[in-house]
Amino acid sequence: MTTTALREEELQLTSSDGTALFARRVLPAGESRAHLAWVHGVAEHSGRYLETMRWFAERGFGSTAVDLRGHGRSEGKRVFVRRWAEYTSDVLAFLEGVEAPAGPSFLIGHSMGGLVVGRALQTQPQRLSGLKGAVITSPYFGLKVVVPGWKVCAGRFLSKVVPVASLPSDLDANLLSKDPEQVRAYEEDPLVTHSVTARWYTESVDQYALALADAGRLTLPLLFMHGEDDGVTDPAATRAVYERCASEDKELEMWPGGRHELLNEVEREQVRERILTWLEARLEG
């Protein structure tokens, strides 16, 4: 069943250190069955989730998506953090600073957003205990793409001496999706960044090791999803975190042939339906 006349809004938030954050919201015409809070991947932004947010709104789920600092239309040096905890602060400001639609809330993170969500749940469980659950797609719990040795050394050196130094990501957009239109949209998106900073790199590598070490701290209902043909983040790392997490309500869905962005894949309708089924089961429970 779908609804019409969706309501779309743009929001301005402030993180704990004063960084201005931008967010988008899509609401159903009537009352929301639940609130979905979306956290994007590295070097992208909330606007790339609008199609998916509208799909869920047509089925009664209100959505809000934030641009993390240094991404999209939020403030900050592009793809830079001094400490990973700054992203956690952004997520907390996002969840606590907006008036959520009616119903329970779920947190959804993709790629780097999956790592951000995972670490937030591990380090701030008290402030996130009101969530009904979380969905984590293609999380950055480990890299599948091979980073050249010179770039690893440069990243670690520059992180200490010039942490804001930019390094080209050299990401092949064809690793994201088998759908050429989605690949083209990514390549032509002016809000997509094609580099990362040295400090972001070292912080992210340290954090995905901690995500595995602290997997036992994950206790909320969780749905992990990963494409088996993901050439960006490592499906094996997702499975390792899944197996170690302490949640009594956890599911892992591996998608044969799926590349990195499952929500932008040719199978995206099935991916959305899978998430919807999982959400509805938690609402009924």
Residue 234 known to be catalytic: no
> What is the spatial distance between Cα 136 and Cα 118, in angstroms, rounded to a whole number?
8
What are 160-166's contacts with CB under 8 Å, separation 24+? Answer: 162/198, 163/80, 163/82, 163/197, 163/198, 163/199, 164/77, 164/80, 164/197, 164/198, 164/199, 165/197, 165/198, 166/78, 166/195, 166/196, 166/197, 166/198
20-27 vs 61-67, strand pairing mode: antiparallel
Q: Please indicate whether residue 260 is annotated as part of the active site.
A: yes
Q: Which of 122, 104, 111 is nearest to 237 (CA)?
A: 111
Query: Which of 74, 111, 138, 166 is labelled catalytic?
Result: 111
Residue 62 pairs in a beta bridge with: 35
What single DSSP character describes residue 231?
S
Whether 230 sits among the annotated catalytic residues: the reply is yes
Which residue among the candidates 67, 90, 214, 230 is catalytic per the annotation?
A: 230
Which residues carry out catalysis?
111, 230, 260
